[in-house]
């Protein structure tokens, strides 16, 4: 890590600590910007990761997309080029040296705006690429991130400057070694863009059964092409993707005091409670009831501490 990057990261770390005194994810006056702090190693958390950019300045984290692990720490960033069901865990953090990160969400239209104003291009017929990647940060990208964060000290400038700094951040990501992956997911008609439409359809209708031919029609692909490109983008099949969404939503419902397991299973699309319990245990390592009791006990312990 260069001296310049170390200096930039130190500045950003101090800034995040100042605006996030407690552990958790902290929204900011910039609607798409979040500051994250964790002073302990966390439980694995399964959730849908929105299209976003996240940079770590202290600590380390692992994100699992199906069976693929993305591990990153200081001087690295991760990009999700589509909404993806993942499991994330902070693996290096302490009270003296907490995990500190900054997350910026963005839209396909923002990416297209950068593409239209630059020489960065993405071929529509190229094979789709993985919609998640880790890359090394560079001084130019870090500088843009710091300038965006500094706007929190002068909120009156946010409406005009935040979109400009966000555009610059996206520009540097697109210029990076994995920029093609981000570009393809935003361009309508590209293989990546068509898979993104299928992803959005499954997310909106996660509790409804589908035929693979219906998804192929949405993507305007053959069934074989859909399977190939979908797995390349998400690291899983459409059925596996939907299953993860269903189980994640079920866990959220159960933790929110929906204690009727059969009802929750039905609400997320399962016809059989036994099948639901088997797949839940396979994904989370515990039966639904054991998992909820365990998670609530850990939460209460942390509150008391």
Quick check: 122 pLDDT over 70?
A: no
Kindly give the pairing relationship between strand 99-105 and strand 33-38.
antiparallel
CA distance 300 to 46: 19
Contact yes or no for 288/255 (Cβ under 8 A): no
What's the pLDDT score for residue 292?
A: 86
What's the pLDDT score for residue 293?
A: 87
Nearest to 104 by CA among 190, 34, 161: 34
Nearest to 38 by CA among 111, 107, 103, 109: 103
Structure tokens at 112: 């297209």
Task: Quote the pTM value.
Answer: 0.90
Mean pLDDT score of the chain = 92
Domain with CATH 2.60.120.810 in the chain: 3-186
Domain with CATH 1.10.10 in the chain: 240-304
Q: Token pair 């693929």 is at which residue?
A: 68
CA distance 113 to 290: 48
Contact yes or no for 104/27 (Cβ under 8 A): no
- Please report, for residues 153, 173, 234, 270, the alpha-carbon distance to residue 128 in angstroms, rounded to integers and kept in the order given: 40, 18, 10, 31
What band does 296 get if pLDDT is binned at 50, 70 and 90? confident
What band does 128 get if pLDDT is binned at 50, 70 and 90? confident
Tell me the CATH number of domain 240-304, given options 1.10.287, 1.10.10, 1.10.357, 3.30.110: 1.10.10
Helix (H, G, I), strand (E, B) or coil at 91: strand
CA distance 302 to 279: 28
Mean pLDDT calculated for residue range 132-148:
96
pLDDT per residue over 236-261, tens digit each? Answer: 999 999 999 999 999 999 988 767 89
Mean pLDDT calculated for residue range 213-232:
96
What's the pLDDT score for residue 109?
A: 92
What's the pLDDT score for residue 300?
A: 66
Q: Residue 133: beta bridge partners?
A: 79
What's the pLDDT score for residue 258?
A: 65
**Alpha-helical runs (H) found in 75-157:** 108-116, 139-150
CATH architecture group of domain 3-186? Sandwich (2.60)
- How distant is the alpha carbon of residue 213 from its chain centre? 28
Quick check: 156 pLDDT over 80?
A: yes
What band does 3 get if pLDDT is binned at 50, 70 and 90? confident
Number of H helices, E strands in the chain: 12, 10
pLDDT per residue over 189-218, tens digit each? Answer: 899 999 999 999 999 999 999 999 999 999
């Amino acid at each position: 890590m260069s001296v310049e990057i170390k200096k930039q990261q130190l500045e950003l770390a101090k800034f995040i600590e100042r605006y996030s005194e407690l552990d958790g994810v902290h929204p900011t006056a910039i609607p798409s910007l979040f500051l994250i702090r964790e002073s302990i190693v966390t439980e694995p958390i399964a959730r849908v990761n929105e299209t976003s950019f996240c940079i770590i300045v202290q600590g380390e984290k692992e994100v699992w997309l199906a069976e693929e692990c993305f591990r990153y720490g200081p001087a690295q960033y991760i990009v999700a080029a589509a909404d993806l069901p993942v499991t994330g865990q902070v693996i290096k953090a302490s009270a003296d040296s907490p995990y500190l990160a900054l997350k910026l969400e963005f839209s396909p239209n923002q990416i297209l705006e950068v593409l239209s104003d630059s020489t960065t291009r993405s071929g529509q017929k190229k094979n789709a690429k993985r919609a998640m990647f880790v890359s090394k940060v560079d001084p130019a990208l870090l500088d843009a991130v710091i300038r965006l964060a500094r706007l929190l000290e002068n909120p009156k400038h946010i409406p005009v400057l935040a979109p400009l700094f966000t555009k610059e951040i996206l520009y540097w990501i697109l210029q990076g070694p994995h920029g093609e992956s981000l570009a393809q997911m935003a361009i309508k008609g590209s293989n990546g863009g068509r898979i993104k439409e299928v992803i959005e359809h499954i997310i909106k209708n996660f509790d409804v059964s589908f035929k693979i031919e219906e998804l192929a029609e949405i993507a305007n692909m053959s069934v074989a092409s859909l399977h190939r490109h979908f797995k390349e983008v998400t690291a899983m099949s459409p059925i596996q993707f939907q299953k993860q969404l269903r189980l994640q939503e079920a866990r959220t419902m159960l933790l929110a005091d929906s204690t009727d397991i059969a009802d929750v299973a039905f609400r997320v699309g399962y016809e059989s409670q036994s099948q639901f319990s088997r797949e839940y245990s396979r994904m989370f390592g515990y039966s639904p009831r054991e998992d909820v009791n365990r998670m609530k006990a850990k939460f209460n312990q942390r509150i008391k501490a």
